[in-house]
Amino acid sequence: MESSELLIYVKKKAQNWLSGNFDANTKNEVKSLLDTNEKELIDSFYKSLDFGTGGLRGIMGVGTNRMNVYTVGMATQGLCNYLKTQFSGLPVIKVAIAYDCRNNSALFAETAAGIFSGNGFKVYLFESLRPTPELSFSIRHFQCQSGIVITASHNPKEYNGYKAYWDDGGQVVFPHDENIIKEVNKISNIDQVKFNGPKENITLIGSEIDEIYTDKIKGLSLSPDAIKRNSDIKIVYTPLHGSGVKLVPMVLKKMGFTNIIHVPEQDVSDGNFPTVHSPNPEESAALDMAIKKAKETGADLLMGTDPDADRVGIAVKLKNNDIVLLNGNQAATLLVYYLLRKWKDNGKIKGKEYIVKTIVTTELLAEMAMDFDVPCYDVLTGFKFIAEIIKQNEGKMNFIGGGEESYGYLAGEFVRDKDAIMACALLAEAAAWAKDEGKLLMDILTEIYIKYGFYKESLLSVTKKGKEGAEEIQKMMANFRSHPPKSINGSTVTMIHDYQKQKSYHVIQGIKEDIHQPKSNVLQFITEDGSKISIRPSGTEPKIKFYFGVKEKLNSAREYNQVSQKLSDKIKAIIKDLNLG
């Protein structure tokens, strides 16, 4: 579409908002865009905000391509219409709703509650902000057919989002995801949305669910005696202004920890995230204040959760009392190793246990699982695929734990999404267990590398905002797909996994194999020296992501820094060879 045609198109859509059944403030903002900001007008109206397989996520504001009460309303009505087709035999359809600290999160949650109620549903609405994993737990607890959480996870403050869940407590997966999208796309006018349903259909929930949920997490404890002997280990915790502020300290105290150190400025729930540039624990700067506090207090462990408390960043103490941040793969390695080790020590591994990881997460998890004689499932990026495996194996096998490199982890089966509340509890317990062994968590990680190999991973995210950015990302993927590299950093590419085409290519032998995973726009290149490079557009942010995984032998703890630097240099060389920086 030519730029002049596009402008005519978006102006027509904007005019519809001026004449439609929208509130006065919305109309005034649309008029302002029409009069003064052509670029923002185009970005706000050039398309409808996609209700993707995980729901909605976007910048807040007026327009069809923005998060507002009307786009939330149309999405909710579409979800309602689909739920009616799937659960028509029930006397009443039940849904649960949670929301985080973001600006407008409470408004969007209340809007959705009114629409669910207007469709005759029974609604369980949290009275105040709560973590995403508690929403997953609540769906299962109340035997709901669906649920939503209003959050943009770790995105910048201008974003908000809407994630939809099914009756198992996991995010919607095929075929429900695609069918819900079709129903949402049928809602062409806000007059089709049943706003403002009766309040008697809405039940507020809160502290009673907190108690049940945190008791279940406490029930996952594998080393209660180690906690008793080391209950005073120093744990710095920050919610980064988000929804973990109540439940992380609550569950740590229930586990038996007595020395929880707060970052008071970040205990304040605030969608503007005033103390951080971005509330993303994957970015080291987000934990600067907590690191300072940890150094001041000599803390053993630091944990920082994102706004909806499904991801957690971890830092651990070194022998010289310095603090070092772990990446998501390292934290996943420590957690999964601890779970495998204690399940084995406690006689709980009986031949029907398993772990799950995603295809871009460290292969070290699979190596460890093999050593403990426990199957490891590999799934596409996105925790809904981990939840799907748990659902498929329910009643037949026991899920020990698992996670993904993007700071999301899970143990047990009563939550079906990544759970930072749970991860904080179990990683703190792992620290107490390590101390009982006379070690630090970093000592445990080094021992893992010596036994299984020093795996090192890195992520490079390239941001491309707006319509032009989205088109550029697609061009980059198309180019890598049509012109794959023959070698990377001097090592021959021996295998290409194309999850879009659902094919694996043995390059040297010229053999093709089917990939038994859903279609996904992901490419992976495996080289002769064992390096793994994965490329995928983000499903929630305007980014294309490059994942790098390399491996070397580590003979002793003395060689740690030397081998670590060698692996870092190797990743830098790969990035340079691919012309990425």
pTM above 0.75, yes or no: yes
Query: What residues does 526 pair with on adjacent strands?
Result: 495, 532
Domains defined along the chain, listed by start: 1-46 (no CATH), 54-205 (3.40.120.10), 230-438 (3.40.120.10), 454-577 (3.30.310)
Q: Shortest CA distance to 302 belongs to which of 239, 222, 247, 251?
A: 239
Q: How far apart are CA 361 and CA 548, in angstroms?
A: 10
Q: What is the pLDDT of residue 538?
A: 82
Q: How far apart are CA 73 and CA 76, in angstroms?
A: 5
The answer, yes or no, to whether the previous bond of 518 is cis (omega within 30 of 0) is no
Q: Collect all residues with Cβ–Cβ distance below 8 Å to 547 and sequence separation of at least 6.
A: 360, 405, 457, 458, 459, 532, 533, 534, 535, 536
Q: What is the pLDDT of residue 2?
A: 60
Q: How far apart are CA 368 and CA 341, in angstroms?
A: 10
Edge-first strand order for the sheet with 122-126 is: 55-59, 159-165, 146-150, 94-99, 122-126, 202-205
The distance from CA 174 to its chain's CA centroid, rounded to whole angstroms, is 19
Neighbours of 328 (CB within 10 A): 24
Query: One digit per residue, pLDDT tens: the chain, 581 residues?
Result: 567 899 999 999 999 999 999 999 999 999 999 999 899 999 999 998 988 777 899 999 999 999 999 999 999 999 999 999 999 999 999 999 999 999 999 999 999 999 999 999 999 999 999 999 999 999 999 999 999 999 999 888 999 999 999 999 999 998 999 999 999 999 989 999 999 999 999 999 999 999 999 999 999 999 999 999 999 999 999 999 999 999 999 999 999 999 999 999 999 999 999 999 999 999 999 999 999 999 999 999 999 999 999 999 999 999 999 999 999 999 999 999 999 999 999 999 999 999 999 999 999 999 999 999 999 999 999 899 999 999 999 999 999 999 999 999 999 999 999 999 999 999 999 999 999 999 999 999 999 999 999 999 999 998 888 778 888 899 999 999 999 999 999 999 999 999 999 999 999 999 999 999 989 999 999 999 999 999 999 876 788 999 999 999 999 999 999 999 999 999 999 999 999 97
Q: How far apart are CA 449 and CA 553, in angstroms?
A: 8
Cα dihedral sign, 554-560-565-568? positive
Q: How far apart are CA 453 and CA 365, in angstroms?
A: 11
Report helix, strand or coil for 174: coil
Listed in sequence order, the DSSP H helices in 37-153 are 38-45, 69-86, 105-118, 132-141
Q: How far apart are CA 378 and CA 497, in angstroms?
A: 13
Strands (E), 166-287: 202-205, 235-238, 260-262
Q: What is the pLDDT of residue 502?
A: 96
Report helix, strand or coil for 202: strand
Is the distance from CB of 356 to CB of 377 less than 8 angstroms? yes
Q: What is the pLDDT of residue 540?
A: 64
DSSP symbols for 494-535: EEEEETTTTEEEETTTTEEEE--S---S-EEEEETTS-EEEE
Q: Collect all residues with Cβ–Cβ distance below 8 Å to 61 and sequence separation of at least 6.
A: 29, 44, 67, 68
Helix axes 420-436, 207-218, angle to 10 degrees: 40
The distance from CA 273 to its chain's CA centroid, rounded to whole angstroms, is 19
Secondary element (H or E) of residue 575: helix 560-577
Phi, psi of 363 (to 5 degrees): -70, -10
Strands (E), 318-364: 323-326, 353-358
Active site positions, annotated? 153
Listed in sequence order, the DSSP H helices in 372-523 are 383-393, 420-436, 441-452, 466-482
Is the distance from CB of 165 to CB of 172 less than 8 angstroms? yes
Q: Shortest CA distance to 169 belongs to which of 418, 400, 353?
A: 418
* 525, 531, 537, 538: CA torsion to nearest 10: 150
Is the distance from CB of 281 to CB of 313 less than 8 angstroms? yes
CA atoms lying within 13 Å on the CB side of residue 300: 23
Query: What residues does 30 pair with on adjacent strands?
Result: none
Q: Collect all residues with Cβ–Cβ distance below 8 Å to 331 and sequence separation of at least 6.
A: 312, 313, 314, 403, 407, 409, 423, 427
Q: How far apart are CA 142 and CA 13, in angstroms?
A: 41
Q: Shortest CA distance to 98 belongs to which of 146, 145, 148?
A: 148
By CB atoms closer than 10 A (0-12, 13-18, 19+), residue 368 is buried
User: How would you classify the pairing of strands 543-552 and 454-463?
Assistant: antiparallel
Q: Collect all residues with Cβ–Cβ distance below 8 Å to 217 and sequence separation of at least 6.
A: 251, 254, 412, 421, 422, 425
Q: How far apart are CA 549 and CA 535, in angstroms?
A: 12
